[in-house]
């Protein structure tokens, strides 16, 4: 079959026409034959079974019955009328009922003719009835291209309103298969198909829309899911390969004086095995002559900052500058203070630039930066301003990168003729399957062990009725010289309510702890007031910090040993984990107390059980992915790449790993897909790149 036929606009399919085509485009993104063929059902009804009327059960299930209409009548009711037909088979009688479209239905119904009816049954007054059934004469039913497992397609209100029902979509697909004679060219090589015993593309597409039985449906689903995941992985791996060939990077050949001195004399503690492994991976990247693009994942407190610093020292030893960009001022200041402290005995010039940096400081900074007098620049979005010009930026580190848009990151690249090496850091553990699909074109490093001497945080769940015991425990901890966070949820829609909760909480804590100093921080405060309160807490002038989630990222107070999370059921798992990470930064035993009411949904229970069971961010992220789905986890702006047609990144986790392994194997043997056996892969990949809209999951 000519593959171009699949690029035919959907308007030309018999039975569609311009009006329907318009609705299909707007509501479902179906522009071409190809889009329609890739519009997969989201569930199936088993129509292998025909029921007798006498067998029907009173559970309102969808059933299929063969019988005849023996009588039709119109019945008056309080509002309007209903049309009722007596439907019989050899075992009994039921009613078919219509509340609208009477005239047309009545004209088209044939008495004493065998019909197949399908729909939901209701039991009323000793009789079964079926409102608005799907109907075919038995003769038509036998002629149709019809599946025993009936596909149900995703729908919207507008589609229903415009009469594009499930049945209409099914008819369109029948027409499409007739016009194309169901001859779809294959998109996977014989080698891959044989290795995984995959059915052909044509067979898979036919059986996804018109499955003969459950076994063929399962084979069709497996084949199409594998293909979808395989091409996503192939695309990400090729993108990575291409970037390494095309985008040249600076070669940092030296591991020089600064790096060695810091490693031998100034490391505050021994590096963990994971940190050593990651630094080795980064060193290897920096020496290849290709631009590094690496994602560094590490749980809260796993020591990413030391890895970042040592990477920057490699840049400085090779006569380059480095910068670190953080999403908030608090976090930027913290990185700055942390690095200045680590490097105090070294002759390095480290500067900070944020939105509130004074004019005179900026002038001096711009000048020194261009002269090459500044080694490391740390800052917020302010680093992206056009005025900020480096002498020779060799390494850019982006912290919590999902807080920055793609355009902002690209701006950082353009600070040099040759783009700097890029290290992206995140403390939000991303499940492996998601990382493979979202960041599959980046190289990924993981710090998966905590520095020695860190005690795991003890997490407990307490109901509101235990509040007095919790308060007693907080007093004991404060008496030992420790500090405490109490966090309230923030849900934008109800800022007034949130503010009230926070103020009520603040007052009750002020009553319970009259002898202690309390800080309060929330989103409606001026930035300078917020910083003042945070600073007081950091310096130990206040013992208790009452806050909304503004403290989630980056406040580092090693003396704080208790995190109380109020209404913990209103938080997502990753947020709970991030908040918990604010304590446990000192040598003392730390605690996280999750407070809730007694009424909890099943999801809330799962979240609370997960939090009390483990401190492992990656395990938590896996549970979160199962509960929330991929789009929600990365925020919608990131989920475009996961706009999957048939595969499910959570349920098809193992298949995704297999698909990536196969894509890696293919490219290792044949990086340009030039071999004869991979001709079909090269052609399909070319088509995907050419017709971006074919499968909009190719990002």
Average pLDDT over residues 357-378: 94
For residue range 503-551, what is the model confidence (pLDDT) as tens digits? Answer: 888 898 999 999 999 998 887 788 788 888 888 898 899 999 998 866 6
Task: Between 598 and 557, name the one with better pLDDT.
Answer: 598
Strand partners, 294: 423, 443
Which pLDDT belongs to residue 622? 82
Q: Which helix (H) or strand (E) holds 35?
A: helix 33-37
**Pick from 682, 676, 660: nearest CA to 240:** 660
Angle, nearest 10°, between helix axes 573-580 and 602-613? 30
Give mean pLDDT, residues 71-81.
88
Cα dihedral sign, 227-232-238-240: negative
Question: Is it the case that residue 638 has pLDDT exceeding 50?
Answer: no
The H or E element containing residue 388 is none
Is residue 377 within 8 A of residue 321, CB to CB? The reply is yes
363 pLDDT tier (thresholds 50, 70, 90):
very high
CA–CA distances in Å: residue 194 to residues 198, 200, 680: 7, 10, 15
* pLDDT at 102 (0 to 100): 86
Q: Is the pLDDT of residue 552 over 70?
A: no
Q: How confident is the model at residue 588 (pLDDT cuts 50, 70, 90)?
A: confident
Can you give the pLDDT at residue 696? 33
**171-188 per-position pLDDT tens digit:** 999 999 998 888 888 999
Give the chain's radius of gyration (CA, Å).
32
The least confident of 65-69, 106-110, 416-420, 611-615 is 416-420
Return d(Cα 141, Cα 133) in angstroms, integer. Answer: 14
Query: Does residue 553 register a pLDDT over 60?
Result: no
pLDDT at 404 over 80: no
Tell me the pLDDT of the chain averaged across its residues.
86
User: In sequence order, what are the residues at sequence separation of 6 or more whose Cβ sits closer than 8 angstroms to the Cβ of residue 90?
Assistant: 52
Hey, what are 349's tokens? 């010039």
Indicate the length of the chain as a whole number: 699
Among 75, 76, 73, 53, residue whose Cα is nearest residue 65: 53
Any alpha helices (H) in 181-261, and if so which ranges? 190-195, 201-209, 214-246, 257-261
Cβ pair 364, 373 in contact under 8 A: no
Domain annotation for the chain: domains and CATH numbers: 48-146 (2.40.50.140), 257-286+303-426 (3.40.50.300), 458-614 (3.40.50.300)
User: Mean pLDDT, to the nearest integer, of 321-349?
Assistant: 90
Residue 486 has pLDDT above 70, yes or no: yes
Given a cut of 80, whether residue 495 has pLDDT beyond it is no
Share of the chain above pLDDT 70, in %: 91
Phi/psi of residue 91, nearest 5 degrees: -110, -10
The phi, psi pair for 653, rounded to 5°, reads -50, -50
User: Could you report the per-residue pLDDT of 595-635, keeping only the tens digit for each?
Assistant: 999 999 989 999 999 999 998 888 888 888 888 766 554 44
What pLDDT is attached to residue 60? Answer: 67
- Does residue 584 carry a pLDDT above 90? no
CA atoms of 272 and 301, how far apart (whole Å):
12
**Which secondary structure element, helix H or strand E, spans residue 576, and what is its range?**
helix 573-580
Structure tokens at 672: 């340009």
- pLDDT value of residue 637: 38
Question: How many C-beta atoms lie closer than 10 Å to residue 93's C-beta?
Answer: 15
Q: Can you give the pLDDT at residue 493?
A: 46
Q: Where are the alpha helices (DSSP H) in 629-672?
A: 630-634, 653-669
Integer Cα distance of 408 and 311 in angstroms: 22
Q: What are phi and psi of 542, to 5 degrees?
A: -120, 145
pLDDT in tens, 272-309: 999 999 999 999 999 888 889 898 988 877 888 999 99
Residue 497: the pLDDT is: 62
Helix residue ranges per DSSP H, 63-213: 102-108, 138-143, 157-161, 166-180, 190-195, 201-209
Determine the pLDDT at residue 499. Answer: 65
Q: Report the pLDDT value the prediction gives residue 555, as an integer from 0 to 100.
A: 63
Cα–Cα nearest to 662, from 231, 16, 101? 231
Residue 650 pLDDT more than 90?
no
pLDDT attached to residue 403: 60
Q: Provide the greatest CA pair distance for the chain.
A: 99
């Amino acid at each position: 079959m000519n593959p171009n036929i699949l690029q035919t606009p959907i308007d030309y399919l018999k039975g569609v026409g311009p009006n329907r085509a318009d609705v299909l485009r707007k509501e479902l993104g179906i522009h071409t034959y190809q889009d329609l063929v890739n519009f997969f059902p989201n569930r199936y009804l088993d129509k292998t079974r025909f029921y007798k009327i006498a067998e029907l059960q009173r559970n309102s299930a969808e059933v299929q019955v063969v019988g005849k209409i023996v009588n039709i009548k119109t019945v008056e009711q309080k509002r309007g009328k209903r049309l009722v037909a007596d439907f019989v088979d050899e075992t009994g009688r039921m009613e078919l009922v219509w509340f609208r479209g009477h005239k047309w239905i009545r004209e088209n119904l044939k008495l004493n003719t065998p019909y197949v009816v399908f729909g939901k049954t209701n039991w009323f007054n000793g009789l079964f009835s079926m409102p608005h059934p799907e109907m075919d004469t038995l003769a038509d039913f036998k002629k149709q291209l019809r599946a025993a497992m009936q596909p149900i397609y995703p729908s919207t209100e507008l589609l229903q309103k415009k009469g594009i029902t499930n049945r209409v979509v099914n008819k369109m697909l029948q027409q499409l298969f007739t016009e194309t004679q169901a001859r779809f060219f294959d998109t996977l090589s014989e080698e891959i198909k044989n290795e995984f015993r995959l059915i052909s593309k044509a067979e898979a597409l036919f059986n996804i829309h018109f499955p003969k039985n459950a076994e063929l449906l399962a084979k069709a689903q497996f084949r199409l899911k594998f293909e979808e995941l395989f091409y996503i992985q192939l695309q990400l791996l090729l993108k990575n390969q291409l970037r390494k060939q095309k985008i040249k990077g600076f070669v940092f050949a030296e591991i020089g004086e600064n790096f060695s001195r810091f490693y031998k004399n100034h490391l505050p503690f021994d590096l963990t095995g994971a940190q050593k492994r990651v630094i080795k991976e980064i060193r290897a990247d920096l020496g290849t002559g290709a631009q590094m693009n690496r994602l560094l994942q590490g749980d809260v407190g796993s020591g990413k900052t030391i890895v970042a610093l040592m990477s920057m020292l490699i840049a400085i030893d090779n006569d380059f500058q480095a910068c670190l960009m953080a999403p908030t001022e608090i976090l930027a200041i913290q990185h700055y203070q942390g690095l200045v402290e680590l490097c105090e005995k070294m002759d390095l010039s480290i500067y900070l630039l944020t939105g509130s940096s004074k004019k005179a400081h900026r002038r001096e900074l711009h000048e020194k930066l261009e002269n090459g007098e500044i080694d490391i620049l740390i800052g917020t979005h302010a680093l992206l301003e056009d005025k900020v010009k480096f002498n020779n930026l060799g390494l850019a580190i982006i912290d919590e990168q999902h807080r920055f848009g793609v355009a902002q990151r690209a701006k950082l690249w353009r600070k040099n003729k040759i783009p700097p090496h890029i290290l992206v850091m995140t403390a939000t553990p991303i499940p492996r399957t998601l990382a493979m699909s979202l960041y599959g074109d980046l190289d990924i490093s993981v710090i998966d062990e905590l520095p020695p001497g860190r005690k795991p945080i003890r997490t407990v769940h307490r109901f509101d009725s235990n509040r007095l015991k919790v308060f007693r425990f907080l007093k004991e901890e404060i008496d030992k010289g420790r500090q405490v966070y109490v966090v309230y949820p923030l849900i934008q829609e109800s800022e007034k309510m949130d503010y009230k909760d926070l103020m009520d909480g603040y007052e009750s804590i002020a009553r319970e702890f009259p002898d202690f100093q309390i800080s309060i921080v929330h989103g409606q405060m001026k930035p300078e007031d917020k910083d003042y309160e945070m600073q007081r807490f950091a310096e130990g002038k206040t013992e208790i910090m009452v806050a909304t989630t503004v403290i989630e990222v980056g406040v580092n107070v090693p003396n704080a040993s208790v995190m109380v999370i109020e209404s913990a059921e209103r938080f997502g798992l990753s947020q709970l984990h991030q908040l918990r990470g604010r304590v446990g930064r000192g040598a003392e035993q730390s605690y996280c107390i999750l407070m809730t009411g007694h009424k909890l949904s099943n999801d809330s229970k799962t979240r609370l059980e997960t939090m009390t069971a483990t401190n492992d961010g990656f395990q938590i992220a896996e549970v979160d992915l199962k509960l929330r789905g991929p789009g929600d986890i990365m925020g919608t702006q990131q989920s475009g790449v996961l706009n999957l047609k048939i595969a499910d990144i959570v349920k098809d986790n193992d298949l995704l790993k297999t698909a990536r392994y196969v894509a890696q194997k293919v490219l290792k043997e044949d990086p340009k897909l030039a071999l004869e056996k991979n001709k079909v892969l090269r052609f399909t990949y070319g088509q995907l790149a050419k017709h971006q809209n074919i499968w909009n999951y190719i990002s």
